[in-house]
Structure 1
Amino acid sequence: MVSYKNSPYQNIVVTQEEEEINVFLDGVPYITLPEPDIAEVELISHVPMLIAEDPREVLMIGGLGGPLREVMRHPSVKRVDYVEIDPYLIATVKEGAKDLVSSELSSRLLSIHLTDGRAFVKSTHNRYDCVILCLSEPSTIERNRYFTEEFFLSVRHVLKEGGVFAFLLPGSLSYYTEELKGVNGTIYASLVSAFPSSMIVPFHKNLFLARKGAPLDALPALLVSRLKERGLETRFLSPSELGYLFEQKRQNWVKETITSRRFTNNRDSLPISFLYWLSYLNLSTSPKFRWLFQAARGARPFHLFTGLCALLLPLFFLRRTAGRALCFSLATTGLSSFVSQAILIFSFQTVFGSIYSEIGALFATSLGGMAVASILVTLIMKRSTFYLALFLSSELGLSLFGVCLSLFLPLSGGRASFHALLFISGGFAGMEFPLATGLYRRDRIGKRVAPLYASDLLGGFLGALFSFFLLPALGFKQSLLFLSATKAASAFLILLSRQDINRK
């Protein structure tokens, strides 16, 4: 390891073995220097540019260290907008391949935009002949937002008629596991929703191509012809290689493989491709847990509601006690609060991109809401004996909070709105614990607090598991509605147990 640094946006690690330099972003391989993978570079840069009839204006999200250079070799290019949010990454790559990167960045054709790629696409008034996405697979929620139906529709909006959009995803030339099939299948389904004219070029990294308002046909002969017309010398994309890449038999095979089942579209509020990617990584690290990811991907709201009913029935038919009702209530509050905050943080990432330098402030806001609510409720309890009414109000408030959040998905707005929602979510969690301790066993302090606190922690633990495994599969809206139903059931159980609670 020759370099380890944290920028405001990500962790950047540089390793070197002899002459080879590798750059990792948040642990994910980004580029090999001083000579990047020439096959990938030429595939992602030249193929979409050759499909475009007369590419003059190009948008590249990522692509430093090879793709930029290749795109600017096309003689018709007049302007390339290069979008990269992290200046530290540019400096790091420049250190590893000074000649290559310096020539790219010094070109008069290049305009550098140090901003979030998705925000740039949404705000720009320019229209492009080509949009090339040079980012890694959906390994995080932040990266997944570049492979959703919403982003593809935004790209379509900034493309000129006949414009081409391209990106790479991990693929295979022989066999697709269910997980790899899911990564490609969910993203391809989303791409087709935005671009009816779409295709996949099979390679060890599949090239996804989409075109606005024009078909993608007769490509091998067209690409070879334009390659010669533009006088481009390539090391990988020879006429024979182009013929092989676009061979109809291989095209049919990869399309049939990936579309052999109907996949859910990858969306901002349903990041299913992210879950498939985690499942795919799990195969190489802990394959014995494959069943767990398969179960998570197959989860549906019906399964969760069935499980909730199975859990509630004994509580309803056994003798209802204050302890059981309050412990169940705090467990569901821990679950609901954790998952709703995870949804808010994931939505924040979707809107603003990097969360690397802001996660501390977001958590602090949530904890601040918890602290303020706890203090206020404690003060109110000194002046009031209506503990049960306050507790039921907090239960129903948390249930309604989830319903309201689900109605406004996907969330948008400024940073202040997300902080306000996190403060409110934390507040609901903070107000219940002191109320529960006031309702349950007013004598014997230790015995009343221990089971309640344990229930709250158990709910938070289940919330963490839910957020990791089930949230990407169910989506934000269905998850919030399930949690709202859980809190409504919890409030109903408290109401049925009110006589036992009042005796305490």
Structure 2
Amino acid sequence: MQRKAKASAYQYIYILVFTIGLTSVCTQAVLLRELASLFRGAEVSYLIAISTWLVLGGAGSVMAKRMFRGVKPGFLYRLGIIVAVLPLLSLIGIRLLAGLFVSGQLLGPGAVVLLALASLAPYCLVMGAVFSVACSLAGRRHARFVYALDGLGFAVGGVLFAMAILMLDNTSVAIALMALNALILFVISIISFRKPLASGLPATASLLLLIAILLFMHSSRISLKTLQQAFPGQSVLGCTDSEYGRIIVTNTSGQLNFFYNSERIFSDPEAQASEWVHFGLAQLNPRRILLISCSPDSAYEALKHNTAVDYLQHDRMLLEAMAEFGVLPETGRVNIVRADAIDFIGRAQEYDAVISCISSPSSIQDARFYNLEFARMAKTHMSSEGVFMLSLPLSGEYVSSEASQLYSTVYSTLKQVFSNVIALPVAGVTLIASDRALRYDIADAMAERNMTAHYVNHYYLDKTLTPERISRLNSSINPAGPVSTAARPRAYYSYLQEWLLIFNGPGFIAPFGFIIAGIVLFFIVAGGGILNVFSSSMSASLIFLALLMLFQQYHGVLFSRLSIISGVFMLGLAVGSIVTTRASRNNKNSRPEARAAHELLSVKGAVDLACIALAMLLFIIITRGIHIGTLLIYMLSSLCGAIVGAAFSFSSHKSEPSRLYLADACGAAVAGIIMSLFVPLMGLEMAVIGMAIVKVISMFR
């Protein structure tokens, strides 16, 4: 009877671990996306937040091991109830903390770390405690199975989240996942306790939590109220989440402002920004032009040139928001196109001008439009003397060495494709490229066509496009600078270097460098299974994060696919853990020393070789500029997860699960910090080489 009761307790522990793993991927995707929306959607904020998430989870696991000894299953259910309610509190906390900053304000890496710590700490610490308590209740022998079930739940949740996000926004998904968690906790409590009303707390608390969450689902005003904190002096009219980012519409004294990931992309009306298109269109007599992610008024300015206008926005939800608030260009005069610019331009008709209003290469998603591949594709679908124009939103008055590197990179990239490239100190820095001769006297070109504009005229440009300013800008540009490509997005790296410089990057990065060196040294000295898990997790996670960045580079929809790719990684982790566990059980050698040696040589050797092989493959992909498809990214992500799962499983019989969990989390966190802060400075190739060196050292410890 006792054996049956113990088996039943195991079942409920496993169900609870699977459920929390299932909902944690949704929580992670929602909270990380919420943080990223405050930092203009930059992937570096994802990486820093993920590193913070992992370290806090590992710390929670170790703390729980020391604090909660001899607990019963009911304690795990209570932790589950806390886990169910924390996502909503964290979501509200992020939005309230965002009120400390003005929306549109450029935030530095320090703000990313502080916001991530403050908002993620409660949830991640409790999540780590759940894993530790579950392993304690299940016993060290079953710790590997708990680890695998957590990964399996994460994988299933990733698929469910990807499906849900197509129909619901971030807040609704967060509420729905909490309701699911609370419902399952309630059912488990009812089944596992003979007298739920007598034992009371787990079942009653779960039921009340479920009712509160369901009531909250019907209050959309609360979501807007929490967002209002970040927009002082403005009225938030609407908010929606798309597969690309967060769209917020505000009103200021009758002017509509559209924000995309906390960055204002345009206002209506707004004359000066919309007239920027004339700098490119005045170079020729266009018949058909393509505007990419420009303001609505830009389309009307372009119509002054008696040309057909294709107005492209990649985000369907943004077009719907523009239509809802009455600022979408009239379809009778402008052809509205909803498509990713890279996909569309590859099958588009011929244009005389392609004008990209992408704000900056501040994210890998936007940096795609500053790469060599996009410039070549645009030229392929342009007339023989067509014009290509883009801008960089940095001041042309004072040019730092990092800004100079950015200008030189984009200039050199365009020069690889077009015969002529000119740089103008307007709208930050404007770059115009073509095979035709280009002119600086834009005001004269406008006057020759009897065209009028509020700002693009002699009164304004005679003071803006002076020979001195043009000469100063050109002297800062190196025509033989590096070229930005999909495999090596140097425009993105240069922008990040400028961003780090603004916020005292060297002073911020140096402490992280010492911290990483200290962590690596600590685990190298520790040796054994802990070092194996740390080095395997760091190596596999670095490769996995690089795959995420490559996916974003090629497809630009990382947010909507992040949960699936992460789920595939965790599925590989679960499979690697289970297969290794079964292999260990099938080892019939009667001598424990011989069994351990067999596992060490077979499993550890396979893990080490797989890590080094993947590192070599990634190095070749980066250096050769090889385009890899989505299916291959999924397969490699799964293999990365299998490496981590196998390393954890074969080390679990020698070390405490909580310590291994911390080593796993620290390894992945180090990979995240390297990818976010050090790769822009030294390149991904050097990071891969460094990772391979650490892995080789671990092979001999």
Normalised to the residue count of structure 1, the TM-score between the two structures is: 0.81
Aligned to 1:202: 425
Map 1:409-420 onto structure 2 (within 5 A): 409=622, 410=625, 412-420=627-635
Mapped pair 1:90 → 2:319:
yes
Residues 293 and 71 of structure 1: CA distance in aligned 2, closer, same or farther (over 3 Å): farther
Alignment match, 2:238? 3
Q: Is residue 171–residue 203 contact of structure 1 (8 Å, CA) maintained in 2? A: no
Does residue 457 of structure 2 align to residue 233 of structure 1?
Answer: no
Q: Distance in 1 between matches of 2:611 and 2:403?
A: 38
Distance 1:356 1:453, change over 3 A: closer
Number of equivalent positions:
451
Is 1:214 the counterpart of 2:447 in the alignment? no
Residue 380 of structure 1 deviates from its aligned partner by 0.6
Query: What per-residue deviation string (whole Å, max 9, x for no partner) do you get for residues 415-434 of structure 1?
Result: 33321221111111111111
- Corresponding position: 1:254 with 2:473: yes
1:396–1:487 CA contact under 8 A, matched in 2: no
Letter in 1 for 2:364: I
Comparing both chains, which one has the higher relative contact order based on Cα–Cα distances under 8 Å and sequence gaps of 6 or more? 2
1:435 to partner: Cα distance:
1.4
1:188 aligns with one of 396, 411, 417: 411
Deviation by residue 1:339-373 (Cα, 9 ceiling, x = unmatched) = 11111111111111122222111111111110111
1:25 to 238, 260, 274: 260
Q: Deviations over 1:453-475 (max 9, x none)?
A: 33222211211101101223343
Kindly state the Cα deviation for residue 118 of structure 1 after the two structures are TM-superposed. Answer: 1.5
Deviation at 1:94, TM superposition (A): 3.4
Whole-angstrom CA distance in 1 between matches of 2:506 and 2:491: 16
Question: Secondary structure of 1:160's partner?
Answer: strand
Residue 582 of structure 2: aligned partner: 379
Distance 1:11 1:395 in 2: 41
| C-alpha distance 229-263 of structure 1, shift in aligned 2 (>3 A) | closer
Supply the AA of the counterpart residue of 1:199.
Answer: I
Unpaired runs of at least 5, structure 2: 1-235, 588-594
Determine whether 1:81 maps to 2:300.
no
Secondary structure of 1:66's counterpart equals helix
In structure 2, what is the equivalent of residue 51 of structure 1?
A: 283
Give the match's secondary structure for 2:546.
helix
1:64/1:90 contact within 8 Å kept: no
Tell me the C-alpha RMSD between the 2 structures.
Answer: 3.0
Counterparts of 1:486 and 1:249 in 2: how far apart (Å)? 52
**Who is 2:560 aligned against?**
357
Deviations 1:183-202 (A, max 9, x none): 43332332233334112100
Selected match of 1:466 from 671, 674, 699: 674
Structure 2 CA distance for aligned equivalents of residues 132 and 273 of structure 1? 18
Query: Which residue is 2:143 aligned to?
Result: none
Which amino acid in 1 is paired with 2:328?
A: V
Q: Distance in 2 between matches of 1:126 and 1:476?
A: 36
Aligned residue in 2 for 1:106: 332
Q: Name the structure 1 match of 2:613.
A: 400
Q: What is the deviation of 1:8?
A: 2.7
Q: Structure 1: which amino acid aligns with 2:697?
A: A
Kindly state the Cα deviation for residue 14 of structure 1 after the two structures are TM-superposed.
1.3
The answer to whether the 8 Å contact 2:619/2:688 transfers is: yes
SS at match of 1:364: helix
Bigger proportion of residues as helix: 2
State the alpha-carbon separation in 2 of the partners of residues 206 and 232 from structure 1. 24
In the TM superposition, what is the alpha-carbon distance from 1:412 to its structure 2 partner? Answer: 3.4
1:498 paired residue number: none
Amino acid at match of 1:235: H
Q: Distance in 1 between matches of 2:631 and 2:317?
A: 27
Take 2:510 and 2:385, find their aligned partners in 1: how far apart are those partners? Answer: 40
SS state of the match for residue 479, structure 1? helix
Helix, strand or coil: the match of 1:129? Answer: strand
Q: Among residues 532, 539, 543, which one is paired with 1:329 in the alignment?
A: 532
Verify the 8 A CA contact 2:396 2:429 in the aligned structure 1: no
Contact 1:271 1:475 in 2 (8 A): no
Q: Percent of counterpart pairs with the same letter?
A: 20
Unmatched 5+ residue regions in structure 1?
316-320, 495-504
Report the Cα offset of residue 490 of structure 1: 2.5
Classify 1:173/1:273 alpha carbon distance in 2 versus 1 (closer, same or farther; 3 Å): closer
Question: In the TM superposition, what whole-angstrom CA distance separates every residue of 1:394-432 from its partner, at most 9, and x where no partner exists?
Answer: 111111012113323445354333212211111111111
- Which residue number corresponds to residue 134 of structure 2? none
Q: What is the alpha-carbon distance in structure 1 between the residues aligned to residue 529 and residue 386 of structure 2? A: 60
TM-score, length-scaled by structure 2: 0.59
Match of 1:168 in 2: 391
CA contact (8 A) 1:59 1:80 kept: yes
Partner of 2:274: 41
Whether contact under 8 Å (1:148, 1:190) holds in the other structure is yes
- Aligned match of 2:652 in 433, 437, 444? 437
Q: Is the 8 A contact 1:142 1:353 kept in 2?
A: yes
Change (3 A) 1:176 1:92: same
- TM-superposition CA deviations, 1:115-170 (whole Å, max 9, x none): 1111222x225222111001111221111111122222222322222211111211
Q: In structure 2, the residue corresponding to 1:268 is in which secondary structure?
A: coil
Kept after mapping to 2: 8 A contact 1:3/1:13: yes
How far off its partner does 1:64 sit?
A: 3.7
Give the Cα separation in 2 of the matches to 1:452 and 1:8. Answer: 35
Distance 1:245 1:292, change over 3 A: same
Q: Which amino acid aligns with 1:236?
A: Y
